[in-house]
Chains A and B, each alone.
Chain A
Amino acid sequence: MDTEQQHIEISELTPEKEPSSLKLVLALGIAGLLSGIILVATYTYTAPIIKANKEAAMKRAIFKVLPNCASYSALKLTNGKLEEKVPDADNKKEEDKEELLVYSGFNEDKELIGFAIPGSEPGFQDIIGVIFGYNATGKIIIGFEVLESKETPGLGDKIFKDADFQTNFTALAVEPEIISVKKGEKQNPNEVESITGATISSKAIVKLLNKTMLIWQEAIDKYIKENNLNMAQKDE
């Protein structure tokens, strides 16, 4: 018993031999390599699922902002003109390019009912990303959905949680320029009632809508004229 105790004490006191630097570098190198392999495997497995999720979310949003939408196609803006976007065979190329896209929505009779337009603008905390439905005949916004937002929970997040704020976007005129007014003071069709306690977030939305319409309106009008598209009449 005694000798064993001594033996342990001695082995604890004698300093361990330093391993060579090569061994240390090798150990970390192998760890990094294994970690890399695991990460690549996980990424290859999850990347298509994540992409599909994003596409599904976009699809849901388009159908939500364009009531009665049955199908849609993506249009891209090139030199001030809208062109049908041909799906790229090479998927990688598509991801690299930051394209400006809108989606034209059609009802069951293949009539154009409007455009779903994505836009973004700095809010209170971070960029707010939205998509909204635009009816080009009436020049009104007919639907609105927030895609991305880090606005303050309980205050700024009312831009997508508050049902009252959403009713601003059932028939919002875009001409003349949209302006924000205090809650309960809406008189004209181009006014948006702000959320009490979230003025900055509300104003950011208004600014976003105006800014995005400026980019698209002309191109959309031209597109409709050139292609002789008839907007479906709303049954209202």
Chain B
Amino acid sequence: MSELVEKSRSSEEFLKGLWKENPVFVAVLGMCPALAVTNTAMNGLAMGLATTFVLLSSSILVSSLKSVIPKQVRITAYVIIIATFVTVVDFGLAAISPAIHKELGAFIALIVVNCLILGRQEAFASKNTIGLSVLDALGMSAGFTFAMLCISIPREILGSGTLFNMPLFGESFEPWVIMILPPGGFFMLGFLLLGFNWYAQKRKERNLIKQN
């Protein structure tokens, strides 16, 4: 019995980040990268993966060190851990793919202050086992990457007429330049948040009717 409960808890911790507690669409965290680097699908994906690496490694470290870190200095310790991994990503990306590193520029360094990551350490990793923290981190980063792709794919298609740099339309397509400029980011995010909330409300109403 308890095994079953354990199992459902694990899948719950993973799945909540994807949908119910999606960091971008529900918690509205990590707005800086969600608006700034989502002008091409490749950038969105790279940002999502970089954040995944940082969140996963920090969660593992924080949850395994939770008994060693004194409570009074825990936030500082988390920031040190996060900043270390962000710098590792920064160097790593510059070595592996200089082109993407150039595109993402300062936004890699800004992962340090992404409240999504610090928030997961404080709210989850510091209180749960390593296993659950890993699942939580994976779920949250998958949700974040999913959101980054949701914003960046339509922006790239409409704004440059390409997807992952492959041209989709013929010569006659006139790109909507505004979609890859900053206002396009706000438009896209606004539309997605609208859709998400509309759907959530619909479901709530349906449940109410069912209950009655």
What are 29 sample pairs from A and B whose C-beta atoms fall under 8 A apart?
A16-B71, A18-B72, A19-B72, A23-B70, A24-B72, A27-B69, A27-B70, A27-B73, A27-B77, A31-B80, A31-B81, A32-B80, A35-B81, A35-B83, A39-B87, A39-B88, A42-B87, A42-B91, A47-B91, A49-B95, A50-B98, A53-B94, A53-B95, A148-B102, A153-B39, A153-B181, A154-B160, A154-B175, A154-B181
Interface residues of A (CB under 8 A from B): 16, 18-19, 23-24, 27-28, 31-32, 35, 38-39, 42-43, 46-47, 49-50, 53-54, 57, 148, 150, 152-155
Contact status A50-B95, CB under 8 Å = yes
Which residues B62-82 have CB closer than 8 A to chain A? Answer: 68-73, 76-77, 80-81
CB distance from A124 to the nearest CB of B (A): 12
CB distance from B7 to the nearest CB of A (A): 27
CA distance A153 to B159 in the complex (A): 10
Residue total for B at the interface (Cβ-Cβ under 8 A): 28
Interface assignment of B112: CB less than 8 Å from any CB of chain A: no
Knowing that A28-B76, A53-B95, A57-B98 touch, tell me 4 more A-B residue pairs with CB under 8 angstroms.
A24-B70, A27-B70, A35-B81, A154-B159
Chain B contacts for A50, CB-based, 8 A: 91, 94-95, 98
CB distance from A62 to the nearest CB of B (A): 17
Query: Which chain B residue shows the least CB distance to A157?
Result: B180
Q: Contacts A19-B70, A28-B77; is A150 near B94 (CB within 8 Å)?
A: no
Query: Which chain B residue shows the least CB distance to A35?
Result: B84
Chain B contacts for A43, CB-based, 8 A: 91
CA distance A43 to B175 in the complex (A): 41
Majority DSSP secondary structure for residues of B touching A: helix
Chain B contacts for A24, CB-based, 8 A: 70, 72-73
CA distance A58 to B121 in the complex (A): 42
Interface assignment of B190: CB less than 8 Å from any CB of chain A: no
Q: Contacts A19-B70, A19-B72, A35-B83; is A153 near B180 (CB within 8 Å)?
A: yes
CA distance A46 to B81 in the complex (A): 20
Chain A contacts for B87, CB-based, 8 A: 39, 42
CA distance A148 to B159 in the complex (A): 22
